[in-house]
């Protein structure tokens, strides 16, 4: 279902915003909480609020303006995260959750706000290794890859495919990493 919907958008995937979509592949480097492009310019930063629970992260643009807020649902057995537009919790964009509470390889599913399947069919899938910080992001349950991530020397390197929302992919990468850390007891 999700693949058909995305094909109707001329193969452009602007989940968070069209301003984050590039017509060419984008290589991004993630070191700690900072994301840089190939020129070394900061394109995103993830902030953990100083006060309150540590179940919330905010994706910021280069001017430190909030793009999305990621909030973990504390009582979830599937490491469920909800993502909202901007710095508040008013406009939910999508939900991310581990597909099963017990996994040898990490599989995470993404459900867009308007998904009508009651989580029977995901819009995107992230598959990766439990102990490695590498993953591939697919459209739904298909084999259509939209981004790949591998671990470099103390950094993550992400390749975002053409016409895919870079802010969306970066958000998924940070959530995937947090889910993996939770799975290792870190």
Instruction: Please state, for a pLDDT cut of 70, what percent of the chain lies above it.
Output: 86
More confident residue, 75 or 40: 40
Cα distance between residue 37 and residue 81, in whole Å: 26
Cα distance between residue 108 and residue 126, in whole Å: 5
What one-character DSSP code corresponds to residue 33? Answer: T
pTM exceeds 0.85, yes or no: yes
Q: How far is CA 55 from the centre of its chain?
A: 15
Instruction: Find the domain containing 24 and state its range.
Output: 2-184
Model pLDDT, residue 102: 61
Model pLDDT, residue 103: 59
Model pLDDT, residue 5: 43
Count: domains in the chain: 1
Q: How far is CA 119 from the centre of its chain?
A: 17
CATH label of the domain that carries residue 78: 2.40.160.200
């Amino acid at each position: 279902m999700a693949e058909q919907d995305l094909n109707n958008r001329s193969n452009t995937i602007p989940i968070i915003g069209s301003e984050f979509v590039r017509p060419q592949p984008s290589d991004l480097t993630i070191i700690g909480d900072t994301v840089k492009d190939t020129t070394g310019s900061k394109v995103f930063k993830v902030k953990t609020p100083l006060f309150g629970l540590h179940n919330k992260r905010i994706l910021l643009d280069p001017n430190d303006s909030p793009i999305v807020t990621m909030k973990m649902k504390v009582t979830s057995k599937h490491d469920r995260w909800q993502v909202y537009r901007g710095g508040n919790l008013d406009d939910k964009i999508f939900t991310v959750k581990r597909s099963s509470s017990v996994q040898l390889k990490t599989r995470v599913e993404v459900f867009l706000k308007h998904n009508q399947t009651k989580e029977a069919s995901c819009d995107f899938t992230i598959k990766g290794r439990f102990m490695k910080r590498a993953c591939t992001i697919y459209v739904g349950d298909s084999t259509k890859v939209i981004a790949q991530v591998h671990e470099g020397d103390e950094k993550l390197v992400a390749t975002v495919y053409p016409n895919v929302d870079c802010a969306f992919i970066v958000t998924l990468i940070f959530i995937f990493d947090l889910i993996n850390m939770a799975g290792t007891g870190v």
